[in-house]
Chain A
Amino acid sequence: MKEQLANIRAQALAAFAAAADSAQLDALRVQYLGKKGELTAVLKMMGKLSPEERPAMGQLANEVRAALEQALEERSTALEAAALEKRLEDEAVDVTIPGKSVKLGHRHPMYIALDEIKEIFIGMGFTVLDGPEIELATYNFDKLNAEEGHPSRDWSDTFYFDTDSRVMLRSQTSPMQVRAMETMPLPIRIIAPGRVYRKDEVDATHSPMFHQVEGMVIDKNVTMADLKGTLNTVVEQLYGKGTKTRFRPHHFPFTEPSCEMDVQCHKCGGVGCPTCKGEGWIELLGAGMIHPHVLEMSGIDPNVYSGWAFGIGLERTAMRRFKIADLRLIFENDVRFLEQF
């Protein structure tokens, strides 16, 4: 019997080690350790042993069983690990195959530029205003000091809806200055982006419809130094810290003093190149201190309040921001263009 147990042990261990997979191992488990298994069969013969032999033989049998069970367990773990490894190997994919495409839409580049500007001003406490595009000439011109006879009022420059030149497509966002002054409590800090219209034929730099952002501040003791400081801050946020600017005298009917603001050419750093037409500077926006008469016409006492305003062309800002060479691309809306942004 002792020999039998030793044989079973040796045979079983060899068989376990040779098992190729879990199924074979399971079959071996039944074969050796099952109810009708070989070890069980040997144990069943225990009864025939003498009581003296029995404990020693029992112990031996238990040892064999324990050894076999342990071997089975170990083998089973090894086989499972191998199987898992094989499965993972089988499941491997070509990671260079493109991912399943998720098509996202794109913001129009002009609105990307507008969003940047809006965020900067909102951060400085400005409110974003919206207003009518079909506008009264009173708001677009009269209350902005562009009196009857001002060239911009010509039918060759501005679109009109009536022969009295009373209702028109606004030619600038500046009427929003007047609308804000007439309706909002002081102090005022607003920007007003929107569409404007001028009678320009379509070409690489002109369009009969384009966009501007108007900005205005009215408060007590507002100075031209504030205008410079604020716009410098804006430019640094738009074009990076340390961007150099300069202010040049200019003329707008509704501001006095008026100015234009240039930024130093990003291409040549101010030396002069084709981008800046050799000037070293690129014109960015027009601005100025709100004309006392304009304040007065909107019911604000210029002896108490002062203010500044600016207007910036959005298309040009976007074109510069994204190096878009032709304005027509902005309104063409070719998806191959739109999906670049």
Chain B
Amino acid sequence: MNLSRKWLNEFVTVTANDKEFAEAMTLSGSKVETTEDLGAEISNVVVGRLLSMERHPDSDHMWVCQVEVGQAEPIQIVTGAWNIHPGDLMPVALHKSTLPGGKKIEKGKLRGVVSNGMFCGLSELGLDERDFPYAVITPAAILGDYHPLDKDKPSIPADIQPGDKVYGPVVAAEMLEVMPLGDGTFHTCASIGAEGTVCPDTCCPNLHVGDMVAFNTKTNSYCTLSDLHAQQAEFPHCIPDGIFVLREEGIAPGDNIKPIINADDHVVEFEITPNRPDCLSVIGLAREAAATFDQELRLHEPVVKGGAEGSLVELLDVETPDPELCPRYTARMVRNVKIAPSPKWMRERLRSMGVRPINNIVDITNYVMLEYGQPMHAFDYRYVKGGKIIVRRAADGEELTTLDGNVRKLTHNMLVIADDTRAVGLAGIMGGENSEIVDDTVDVVFESANFDGTCIRKAALALGMRTEASAKFEKGLDPLNTLPAVNRACELVELLGAGEVVDGVIDILNHVPQPRILKLEPDRINGLLGTDIPEQEMVEILRKLGFTVEGDQVTVPSWRGDVIGMADLAEEVARFHGYNNIPTTLMRGQTTLGGYSTEEKLERQLGAMCRSLGYDEIITYSFISPTCYDKIRWSADDPRRQSFKILNPLGEDTSIMRTTILPSMLEILTRNYNYRNQSARLYEVGRTYQEGGNDGLAVENKVLSMGAYGEDMDFFTLKGAVEAILNDIRAEDIRFEKPCQNNPSYHPGRCADVYAGGRRLGVLGQIHPLVAQNYGVDAEFYCAELDFTQLLHAKGPDPEYVPLPKFPSVTRDIAVVCDEAVTVGALEEAIRKGAKGLLKEVTLFDIYQGKGIPDGKKSVAFNLVLRSDDRSLTSEEADADVKSILETLEKELGAVLR
């Protein structure tokens, strides 16, 4: 919401500078985003009066001008503009002045002649013709400026003389006299040779004595570019751009230009929270500003003279068949409208607030919307068939072309303004093209209504056309505001002389809001805030905001639908007492014991262990693309594909909630690989989302996901890391087994299920080369997925001290030859089985195939540690154990000592 401070000052006098204003308003609850001084870039630009102009001795199109600028002596300025005449007032950028866009003007010489500044056009002051419609320039085509397209075949001879025929009724004319009439028109006389002299009035401002022009004897007017059917290139200086000749009242040479062009206004941009639609208006913000700065709020009661011909009741009939969607509909009529630009002050205010001026009637509706916060609409009465306005639901499929020229297909959930036959507007959003105010509009209906916010919001959303009006309606507006707003619009019509107002108001009040009365409980308010604010201060604050307080009864004003209870009153009090004047205290009361849950402790432990193993933590999106399941080669009927599906996703890539964390890890590994990072080791404790939770929610399981590629990375490196983690959480009976079911995402020969104490924790291994290929990668990726809940169960108890060995151990190395297919795990198991109670440790130290070992066989070597807890072992005792071990190995696995 933009606010013009000039407009604000009409309702409340605030002298604070922008920074102070922004700070104070922000701290009282109206957050200021930015402030802008509209004239910040303009300096040293004043009104000048052209005293005389002479042609530049050294240029065919420049003038040397003497200008009065409020100084003792006139100054000289050289200009190339053609639309000025002695006596004209215009903006003059003096020596050392600045203009919008950071442009700096200094004195200098133009083709050898001193120029002490510059005349300004609209655009140089950051304006356009909408700001000053009278400044539009209609240039005549000067024959001296003629540049034939084909040099050899000029349409107009270079030596053309007054009276020579150009074509048809058009002859050459030489200007004898040009006299500005002060209203943008000129009295002129020109010679047309033997035919004599013609003296038409013209609005072409670029004529000067001595100019040769084309004159149409039939229309008695000078020819413009289009009159001559000429191209721009033929008359390069015949352009509708020139100096901004001022026609403002009461200005004199030397006056600062800023107030004249409204560049002395300051615009403040507010962020208004959705609970305060009343602040989306000048009056609403003025009320806040008045309370903030403790100044008087000067409101104004609109006064309408009325008296136009006709009776409103006979002219217009309004029906509201859906009263719940239209709590109130207020309308008035204006006749004999004269569509014209609105006056400068109105255009300036609209511009300051970021609204484009259009014409007086449309500008009035926008002006009232900005001032009162009540959206207004104006219909052309002649297109309201049957003199009847019906506020109804649209029929499904009904079409309406809105003001922006788009055809809208409507549904039953949208509200339209219709006449007897068709929709003429989309209620609360945008008018229809078929009833738009146009240049020849004569009778106008002003609508000032209150529509159901939710209905408007949904319709605007469905149609993708959130407008200024709909944005206001959707927050819920004050139904009591429609009448003053429509009266204000009619008052402005009369003020502008834009038409005649018909007496009476059509006002359909379907829902009469009852004022809300609350009890003022100062003790509870202070109790909630932790303050000691006197009751009197509370009462004063509330009254400043428009609340009525009598005893302990507080009546909430109609525009404050957001105030419903004690806490809301407390906020009002706190805002103006000052949030920063509330003391700061520390919590009292019963102490509570804080801390991490068991789960969180494990999560932290796992993370710390992963990091100590060199794995970096990552954060991945919980949603994935359904194609991820294809990429990790899950079959089409894999039940794990059953995912929570987002019905309104941002895109396919983020449309389902993952049931596996693997694709997330693969995506990040791939990204790092594509970034040419040599290696990566990553982990995440992330969630998966399966169906079957309570209330139709998900079962959200956490998974410890690890992934790696690059230098020194292979199956056993990852396995070592997983083992270290499991040892760290003291998991017991850890086993790695070939997966009981083929896992299509992993390399079938380099993949293992991980168990602890018979509990399956998850899987680890190399990613299947085809999966890697699906990710566009030709490297070996290694991943592990360990279920967090299972890890929590597998977490072992706190350690209990075991006495250190008192007796020395005996070590023996054995190497056995067995079939290739026998696993190390099986060998170890056999070794443990064969031992007779002395074996403490088995450590694999070599696997060998090749010379000396038959094909299909392998040699596996272990280091055995044997020890007794109650005596020193003898060599014989150790040998007996080893013998038993070797026997078991041979018996069970056919493994023989090498």
- Residue pair B276, A331 in contact (C-beta under 8 Å): no
- Residue pair A105, B594 in contact (C-beta under 8 Å): no
Q: How far is the CA of A135 from the CA of B622 in the complex (A)?
A: 14
Interface 1/0 per residue, B446-469 and A, CB below 8 Å = 000000011001000100000000
B81 at the interface (CB under 8 A from A): no
Q: Which residues of B contact A257 (CB under 8 A)?
A: 528-529, 567, 570-571, 574-575, 579
- Residue pair B585, A125 in contact (C-beta under 8 Å): no
B807 at the interface (CB under 8 A from A): no
Q: Which residues of B contact A105 (CB under 8 A)?
A: 610-617, 681, 683
Chain B residue nearest to A105 (CB atoms) is: B611
Q: How far is the CA of A148 from the CA of B455 in the complex (A)?
A: 12
A136 at the interface (CB under 8 A from B): yes
Chain A residue nearest to B567 (CB atoms) is: A256
Q: How far is the CA of A291 from the CA of B275 in the complex (A)?
A: 14
- Residue pair B594, A127 in contact (C-beta under 8 Å): yes
Q: How far is the CA of A103 from the CA of B710 in the complex (A)?
A: 14
Quick one: which of A134, A221, A224, A251 contacts B273, CB cutoff 8 A? A251
Quick one: which of A133, A228, A331, A335 contacts B700, CB cutoff 8 A? A133
B248 at the interface (CB under 8 A from A): no
Q: B791: shortest Cβ distance to chain A, in Å?
A: 16
B307 at the interface (CB under 8 A from A): no
Determine, out of B216-224, B294-302, B649-657, B839-847, the stretch whose residues face the partner at the interface. Answer: B649-657
- Residue pair B657, A134 in contact (C-beta under 8 Å): yes
B428 at the interface (CB under 8 A from A): no
- Residue pair B646, A135 in contact (C-beta under 8 Å): no
- Residue pair B700, A121 in contact (C-beta under 8 Å): no
- Residue pair A223, B585 in contact (C-beta under 8 Å): yes
Complex interface residues of chain A between 218 and 244 (CB less than 8 A to chain B): 219-226, 228-230, 232-233
Q: Which residues of B contact A126 (CB under 8 A)?
A: 592, 594
Quick one: which of B571, B587, B671 contacts A256, CB cutoff 8 A? B571
Quick one: which of B599, B671, B680 contacts A130, CB cutoff 8 A? B599
- Residue pair B565, A292 in contact (C-beta under 8 Å): yes
Max count, chain A CB within 10 A of own CB: residue among B527, B587, B614, B668: B587
- Residue pair A149, B697 in contact (C-beta under 8 Å): no
Q: How far is the CA of A257 from the CA of B583 in the complex (A)?
A: 15
Interface 1/0 per residue, A328-341 and B, CB below 8 Å = 00111111101100
Q: How far is the CA of A338 from the CA of B615 in the complex (A)?
A: 10
- Residue pair B588, A292 in contact (C-beta under 8 Å): no
Chain A residue nearest to B656 (CB atoms) is: A161
Determine, out of B23-31, B491-499, B738-746, the stretch whose residues face the partner at the interface. Answer: B23-31
Q: Which residues of B contact A133 (CB under 8 A)?
A: 622, 687, 689, 698, 700
Interface 1/0 per residue, B523-551 and A, CB below 8 Å = 00001111100000000000000000000
B801 at the interface (CB under 8 A from A): no
Q: B651: shortest Cβ distance to chain A, in Å?
A: 9
The SS class assigned to the A binding surface is mixed
Q: B10: shortest Cβ distance to chain A, in Å?
A: 26
Quick one: which of B274, B585, B615 contacts A151, CB cutoff 8 A? B274
- Residue pair A289, B567 in contact (C-beta under 8 Å): yes
Determine, out of A11-19, A68-76, A163-171, the stretch whose residues face the partner at the interface. Answer: A163-171
- Residue pair A334, B589 in contact (C-beta under 8 Å): no
Known: A107-B611, A229-B585. 5 other contacts (CB 8 A): A107-B607, A130-B599, A134-B700, A333-B671, A334-B671
Which residues of A are in contact with B by a Cβ distance under 8 Å?
Answer: 103-108, 110-111, 118, 121-128, 130, 132-136, 148-149, 151, 154-156, 159-163, 166-167, 169, 187, 189, 195, 197, 199, 201, 208-209, 217, 219-226, 228-230, 232-233, 246-251, 256-259, 289, 291-293, 306, 330-336, 338-339
Which residues of B are in contact with A by a Cβ distance under 8 Å?
Answer: 26-29, 31, 273-276, 453-454, 457, 461, 474, 527-531, 565-568, 570-571, 574-575, 579-580, 582-597, 599-600, 607, 610-623, 644-650, 654, 657, 668, 671-672, 675, 677, 680-683, 687, 689, 693, 695-698, 700
Q: Which 6 A-B pairs have the closest CB atoms?
A: A225-B530, A223-B530, A249-B29, A105-B611, A257-B571, A251-B273
CB-defined A-B contacts under 8 Å, sample of 30: A105-B614, A105-B616, A105-B681, A111-B617, A122-B596, A125-B594, A126-B594, A133-B689, A133-B698, A134-B657, A151-B474, A155-B648, A159-B646, A187-B592, A208-B650, A209-B623, A221-B589, A223-B585, A224-B528, A229-B584, A246-B27, A247-B579, A247-B580, A248-B26, A249-B579, A251-B275, A256-B568, A257-B529, A333-B618, A334-B671
